[in-house]
Structures are given as structure tokens and as C-alpha cells.
Structure 1
Amino acid sequence: MNPNPQMYLNRTRHWITLVALIIAGEIIFALPFHIARFFRPTFLDAFSLNNAELGDIFALYGVTAMLAYFPGGPLADRFSARTLITIALLTTALGGLVLVQMPSKNTLALLFAYWGITTILLFWAAMIKATRLWGGDNAQGIAFGLLDGGRGLVAAGVASLAVSLFVFLLPATSLPGADEHTLTHAERVESIQAIITYYTTLTFAAAVLTWFVLPVDSKEYEQPHQPFSAYRTISSQIRNPLIWLQGLIVVCAYCCYKGIDNYGLYAYHVLDMSESDAAQFTASAAYLRPIGAVLAGLLADKAKPAKVIFICFCLIAVCYATLSLPDTASFLQLAVINLAASALAVFAVRGIYFALIHQSGLAKYATGTAAGLVSVLGFTPDIFFAPIAGRILDAEPIEAAHQAYFVMLQGFAVAGALITLLYQHWLTTKNDSELQNSLTEGEKLTSKKTAKI
């Protein structure tokens, strides 16, 4: 049998589309999050911030993001994901041109509030919608697993290059007998400016890529053009308990994910790593993201996403409980193992929690609206997590502050496991009820036919 060139071409385009989504899905968050995550000690010094002040700035991002999630859902159901994603990347990259000027704290706060709009209103629900379209009916777990795993690989790759650039630009490290503790404030500022320029360029490039690669949406993902159709879609999803339970699952998982932002600070303060070693440690941990997300995606398509998420939450809780214990002689090895294991499990949950939308049986044309509603609740940690974490971590003594931090994260993991069990119970009850109603309707139809005979 001769190979079908069109089939191979379609398959190639299919995978290129996912690659573009992966790149866009991570790079758009690089400017607001990557620099502060991978270069936290240097970022704080360059902008003259403490952890609490940076947490408050992130909270402003969270507030505008919360306001953007809800309208972003219906917007994604109405307009092309290709157009929305491209505009979102371009407007986010423009913010990098402001950040590289090393603005004041007030301007920095306004910039992060601006990014809360550019990265969410036009982008988030559109990305979820495009990914569900890519996965079809039988590969939702692997679609979202590949998306988040790929995003993790992109994050780790570009972060590793950024760390190499950062180390190369640090003048103190090139002098005999010098170390990073001898760096001046001005030298740290110059290094961070180079990193900002690097991520800004990548964001502009991602915008060009998505415009030329992403396809136009399928008809089955377009909202029906009927009077008040958007209102009916929103109203039906607001009344759906599974949407809100999924939102609570995302809250707990996202808090654990944001907890990884301070792994570098933990390595610097408690494990006595240098600034560049702490950055490299965090960047290396990011390579676990594709492993965790893809494995979770494969398992989710066989055992259902909710079951995989429950197991991962349990593992996360155990890891954080261990990290909250006092130091021991072998604590370094134990801490590294638990940091790695917790990151792997967190990345697994993050990779598949939006696959729950398909598991709940939601209509395809309402994907954007559902993603928006789930995100309104699910990403509220963008408002409260960083300010709380910053104040915990600024306490003294430092070791006790980090132990308290991991106790807080453990609480979110336990809550996530319990809510996931409730989600599974509610979904089972819903499916049983629908099956019973279907059987009842079938009996009524049979009775009518018998009566006619």
C-alpha cells in the first residue's frame, strides 16, 4: 500500500500545533514569573525588594488575573484561539520593555497588574480550548499532560540558558578567589537586565510562531449562534457543582505549584547553596515537569484524571510533612529527595487538572466558559499565596520560617486529596442519576410503542 502524503502532512501539522501551544503556554508567563522564580535572591536585590513586598506585587497580578478569567472564558468561546493567543503574547512582551528599565516599586506593581490582564484575558481560556480541541475525545489526559509537560521542558530549557547567561555576566565569578557574595548592587542590576531582555525577545518570537502555526478553530468548538446563548452557557456552568469542585482542586494544586517558586530561596537559606547554584537547582527541578505531566496524562487516560490527582496529592502531603521536620545530620540528602519528589507530583497534578473538564462530560462549545469559571476560583492563590508566603519566609529564624512554610503547603495538599474524593463521589452520583433517567425515558418510550400496537 502506498503511503498517503496528505495523512502524514496532517499528522505533522497536528504535532506542530501542539508544539506551538506548548511554547506559547510557557513563554507568556516567563516575564511575570520565571525571572523571580529562577533568580529570586538576585531579583530581590536588584529591585530592592523583600519577600513580603514582592508577594504584594504578585497579589496585584492575581487581582487583575481574577477579573480577567471570567470574561476570558466566553471570549475564547466566541473568537479564534490563534488571534487571541498572538495578541496576548505581543502585549505581554511590551511589558518586558518596561521591566528592563528597572522601574520603581509602584511602577513594578502596575506592570504586574497589567500582565495579569495580558496573560489571562486573551490567553488562558483560549489555550485550554485549543488543547481540548487537539486531544479529541479519547486523548484528553495525554493532551493536557503533553501541554504542561512540554511547557515544563520549555521552562527548564530556556531557564538553563538564562542561568548560563547569568553566570557568564556575573563579573565576580570570573575573578580568582571571588564569589557571588562580593557582587555589587549595580552588577546584579546589569545581570538581571540581560535576563529580562532575553525573556522579552523570546515572548515576541513566540507571538510570531503562534500566528503562523495555530489553526482556525473547529466548528464543534464554536458557541451556537442563538439569542442569549452565551448567557445560557454561563448560567448552566455556574450551577454545575463539578465546576466548583474542580476549581477547589486547582486552588490546592496551584498553591503547591507556587510553593516551588521558593525552592531556590530554601536552597540558598537552608541548604547553603550559592545564588547561581540555587538558580541552577530550581532550573534542574523544572526538568521533572515534563516527566510528571506526561506520565500523569498517560495514566489519566487509563484510570481517569481524578484518581491520579488523588494519589499525587497524597504523595505531596508526605513530602511536605518531611520537609517541615527539624534538620538532621542527613537532612541535605533527605531534603533534596523530598523537594524533587514533591515537584514531580505537583507537576503531575498540574498537568492534568484541566482534563477534569472532559471527564465531567461538559459540552465542547462551552470549554472556554468552563475553563474561565474554574480558573476564577482555581487561581485565587495568585492573590493570597505570595503575600502570606512572603511574610512567613521573612520571619526569624530562617530555618523555622521555611518549616512553617512547608506545614502550610502540606495543609493544601491534604485538602486537595479530600476535595478530589468529593469530586469523584459527586461525579459517580451524577452519572448514576443520568443513567437512571435514561433508563426511565427508555421505559416510557417502550410503553408508548406498546400502547400504539
Structure 2
Amino acid sequence: MSRESNVTSVFGHILIIILAGELIFALPFHLARFFRPTFLQAFELTNTQLGDIFAAYGVVAMLSYFPGGLIADRYAPNRLMSCSLLATAAGGGYLLSGPSHFGLTLLFGYWGATTVLVFWAAMIKATRLSAAPSRQGFAFGLLDGGRGLAASLFASVGILLLSQGAFNPQGDFNNSHDAFKAMSSLIIYYTCLTVVAAVLTWLFVSAERPEIDDSHNQASQIASHQSVWNTLRITLVNPMVWLQGGVVVCAYCGYKALDNYSLFVVQAFNWSQVEGAQFITFASYTRPVAALAAGILADRLRTSRMTYILFAFLGVVFVSIAWLTRSNSAVTVMLAMLLFTFIAVFALRGIYFALVDESQIRMGATGTAVGIISVLGFTPDIFFASVSGRMLDAGQHGFGYYFLFVAAIMFIGCLCALLLANKVNKLVSVSETQLKIER
């Protein structure tokens, strides 16, 4: 697709990518994010155990991002993405068997490969190709905002399925058997959706292959290998790639922080498990608006500038929430603060990969750059759940320490974004000077 495509064609191309990009993570993440108390009860897990299970996912995912980037620069995105979706859906069948803690660890490690290795970088590259440089914020905002809307809609149906379970008068499940029965309907539901997404991706996402030399003579093969290693070398020494990795790792920690909100409102406000799931689902509806609005603003103000503003805002708000957990503040105030963090985190997610184009990384190195950025950027899949799980299991003030921990990460992200913005400004200044000389 031409990078000068209009807004309508960008929307049409990304629509299926949106469905695929959200459903690839439905089984590994939606179940534990929207329905965390039920998930813990169904599989008889503590927060610490679930955190360690997610760490297994994170280790495998981290090892998959880099080779996945190289693969994305060589093969058609629809084939890569469709195969990943089918492999992920297969894991849903095993989850229905009610695996042990060890079995869940193996499953999430498997999902770490199926959701990343031949999917993630292919999706990012397909999105970048779908829009002109001046519409990168819009394209990535549309992608993440659309994914958020899809997640909320699917979770809303999931809540209806969950509400059919056998609850006690307090609105909770009587035992782990009843919780697992309700969870099974959700597993089947998300597995079927993932299979449907695989079919749609195969049929409608672009099958265009990257431009590579397919001749079989030895000289062309040597040239191809030299090109791959040259791209890798140049990308590895680009400081802006590593700063983008810092931005993504901090923003992703903010996103992972949202996973514990349903547990927080259940414990802090004595809400039922269904009410906790309803709050998270309601808040998730801010994602499409926040991501798309941030994308449009980023195209006008510059993505790097928007990024450090959002990080600074989040740092202040998380510090405020940590303080509120130690006082008997009104529930309404606390909920408003939590909603603010949803909006800002979703805005960050909507624009941070638009930094790839703003940094003027060449198109042929997109997959490689995304692979490197993601290796660093998504390491929270390894450590965040384990660290936060231990904080939350520590006692009365666990959530206070948890929110301070997240606030510190947000301020680090602000620093990375400021440094990146400074380098982008210098890059733009050099480009403008060269244009003036050429004229």
C-alpha cells in the first residue's frame, strides 16, 4: 500500500489488523486483566504465583522479539500474523483442561512465542506502511485505539458470560470449581474469536512481501546476507532506537499496572468480583478515544513532545494515588484518579511506535528496529508481575508501595522521552538545513 494513502484507505487497511492485534493477546492477557479475581480463584493461584507465570511469558517473548523483527523484514505480514493467531488459539484448548501451576507456566511460555515471534513486528511494520509520514500518529493511534475498543466490546460480552455463574449472596463464586466453570466459558469464547481473526487476517491483510532478491545465484545470496547484517549493525548503534526502547519499557509498565486495578477496587472498596470486572471494562472504553486523540495531537505537536508530557502527568497522578491509599479519601476521588491513569496510559500506547518514523529509521529496517525496541520495551512481561505480585501480597500498604513504584518508572520514562525529543529536534534541524542548501 502506498504511504500516501488517504485517511479512508488507512482505516480500511488497519481494521483487520486491529482485530488481529487485540485478539492475539486475548487468551494470555484478557482473562487475567478483566477477570483477575475469578482467574485467581479458578486456578487456585496467589498474586505472586500469577506474577511468576507471567514472567515465563515475558522471558520467551523477550527472546522472540529480536528474531521476529528480522523475520518481519523478509516475509508477508498476513501469513505471519495468521499462523500466530492459530497457534495462540491452540493454547486455549489446553487451558480448558485446568492445568496446574506448572502447566500454566509452560502454557504462558508457549504463548510468549506464539504472540510475538512472527506477529508483533509484522503488525507494526504493516501499520507503518499503511500511512504517510505525516499520518503516523493517526495510524498508530487508530491501531491502539481500535484494539482498545475491540478489547472493551469483547470483555463486555465476557462479563455477560461470567454473570451466568453460580454466585453466593456476596456476589462471588462459592468455590474454585464454580469459578473454573465460569472461566471455561470465557476461554471457549476467546479461543473462537482468535480463530476467526486468523481467517480474516489471512484473507484481508496485505500479502505483499518485502522487496528482496529471490534469485538463487551465490552472489545475490551473499549480498542479501550482507544487507541484513549491515541493517542490524546500523540499527544497533542508533541511540534513538535505545531511547525508544526506554520509552516503551516505561509506558508498558504503566499499562501493566492497570492489570491490578480490578483487584484493587475489590479489596479497597469491598466490591464484588463482577463489579471489579465491570469497572475495568468501563474504564477500557477510554482507550480508543485517548489513543486516537493522542495520535492526532502527536501529528500536530510532534510525538516525542507528547510522550514526555504524558509521562510527567502520569508520574504525578500515581504519586497522588499512592498518598490517597493511606488516607480515607472518598471513593469518587480515587476512581477519578484511576480513570485519569487509564486515559494517559492509553494515549502513550497509541503513539510510542510512531516515534520510529519520527526518528527517520528507514523503512527496510523497521522490523529490525521494532525487534530491538521491543526486546527492551516489553521486558516488564518478565519482571513487572512478579515484583508487583510480591508487593500486593505484602500486607496492608501493598498498593501504596505499588503505586509509588509505578510513579518512579513514569518519571524515568519522562527523562527518556526528553532526551529523545532533543535528538529528534537536532535531526529535524539538520534535515531542514540540508533542504535549504539543496534549494
Q: Same fold (TM over 0.5)?
A: yes
Q: Distance in 1 between matches of 2:405 and 2:326?
A: 18
**Residues 50-449 of structure 1 aligned to structure 2 (within 5 Å):** 50-168=46-164, 170-172=165-167, 178-181=169-172, 183-217=174-208, 222=211, 226-227=223-224, 228-325=226-323, 326-397=325-396, 400-433=397-430
Matched AA of 2:384: F
- Tell me the amino acid that sits aligned with residue 167 of structure 2: A
Secondary structure in 2 aligned to 1:405? helix
Question: Over residues 82-139 of structure 1, what are the superposed CA-to-partner deviations in whole Å (9 max), with x where a residue is unaligned?
Answer: 1000000000000001011111111110110000000000100000000001112221
CA separation in 2, counterparts of 1:275 and 1:172? 10
Contact 1:247–1:374 (8 Å) recurs in 2 = yes
| Structure 2 equivalent of residue 33 of structure 1 | 29
Q: For the structure 1 residues 182 and 25, does the alpha-carbon distance in structure 2 shift closer, same or farther, using more than 3 Å as the test?
A: closer
The amino acid of 2:237's aligned partner reads R
- Tell me the amino acid that sits aligned with residue 311 of structure 2: F
Deviation, structure 1 residue 315? 1.5
Q: CA 1:274–1:94 in 2, change beyond 3 Å: closer, same or farther?
A: same
* 8 Å Cα contact 2:326-2:400 kept in structure 1: no
Q: 1:435 to 1:301 in 2, by over 3 A?
A: closer
Amino acid at match of 2:276: A
Q: Residue deviations 1:38-88, cap 9 Å, x none?
A: 111111111111011110110010000011000000100100001000000
1:361 match: secondary structure: coil
CA RMSD of the aligned region, Å? 2.0
Q: 1:275 is aligned with what amino acid?
A: Q
Partner of 1:5: none
Q: Deviations over 1:338-357 (max 9, x none)?
A: 10001100000011100000
CA distance in 2, matches of 1:277, 1:222: 51
CA gap of 1:29–1:295, structure 2 versus 1, over 3 A, is same
| Number of aligned positions between the proteins | 425
CA shift for structure 1 position 435: 5.8
* Counterpart position of 1:3: none
Letter in 2 for 1:377: L
Opposite residue 142 of structure 1, the aligned amino acid is F
Q: Distance in 2 between matches of 1:182 and 1:194?
A: 15
Q: Tell me whether 179-188 or 284-293 shows the greater mean CA deviation.
A: 179-188
Shift of 1:11: 8.2
Report the equivalent of 1:4: none
Runs (5+) with no aligned partner, structure 1: 1-9, 444-453
Equivalent residues of 1:223, 1:365 under 8 A apart: no
Q: 1:366 offset after TM fit, Å?
A: 1.2
Partner secondary structure for residue 139 of structure 1: helix
Percent identical among aligned pairs is 44
Segments of structure 2 that go 5 or more residues without pairing to the other structure are 1-5, 214-219
> What SS is found at the alignment partner of 1:172?
coil
How far did residue 18 of structure 1 move? 1.1
The amino acid across from 2:264 in the alignment is Y
- Partner of 2:163, secondary structure, is helix
**Alignment partners' CA distance in 2, 1:332 and 1:105:** 35
- Relative distance call for 1:286 and 1:223 in structure 2 (3 A) is farther
Counterparts of 1:338 and 1:14, CA distance in 2: 34
**1: CA distance, partners of 2:290 / 2:432:** 35
Q: Report the more deviating stretch, 226-235 or 61-70.
A: 226-235
Q: Distance in 2 between matches of 1:401 and 1:19?
A: 40
Q: Which moved more, 1:423-432 or 1:58-67?
A: 423-432
Distance 1:132 1:434 in 2: 21
Distance 1:425 1:181 in 2: 52
1:52·1:394 contact (CA, 8 Å) conserved in 2? yes
The structural deviation recorded for 1:17 is 2.4
Distance in 2, matches of 1:428 and 1:87, equals 40
Contact 1:130 1:217 in 2 (8 A): no
Partner amino acid, structure 2, of 1:317: G
Residues in 2 aligned to 1:432 and 1:131: alpha-carbon distance in whole angstroms = 27
What secondary structure, in the 3-state scheme, does the structure 1 residue paired with 2:255 have? helix
Alignment match, 2:3: none
- Report if the CA contact (8 A) 2:262-2:276 is conserved: yes
CA, structure 1 residues 406+16, in 2 after alignment: closer, same or farther (shift >3 Å)?
same
The residue type paired with residue 132 of structure 2 is G
Please report how far the alpha carbon of residue 314 of structure 1 lies from its aligned counterpart in structure 2 after TM superposition: 1.5
Contact kept, 8 Å, 1:52 with 1:390, in 2: the verdict is yes
Find the aligned partners of 1:81 and 1:244 in 2 and give their Cα distance: 25
Contact 1:86 1:208 in 2 (8 A): yes
The CA distance in 2 between the partners of 1:35 and 1:346, in whole Å, is 20
Amino acid at match of 1:172: F
The one-letter amino acid of 1:342's match is T
2:173–2:179 contact (8 Å) kept in structure 1: no
> Aligned equivalents of 1:11 and 1:297: distance in 2?
13
1:16 is matched with: 12
TM-score (norm 2): 0.93
Residue 97 of structure 2: SS of its match in structure 1? coil
- Give the 3-state SS of the residue equivalent to 1:396 in structure 2: coil
Q: C-alpha displacement at 1:164, in angstroms?
A: 1.0
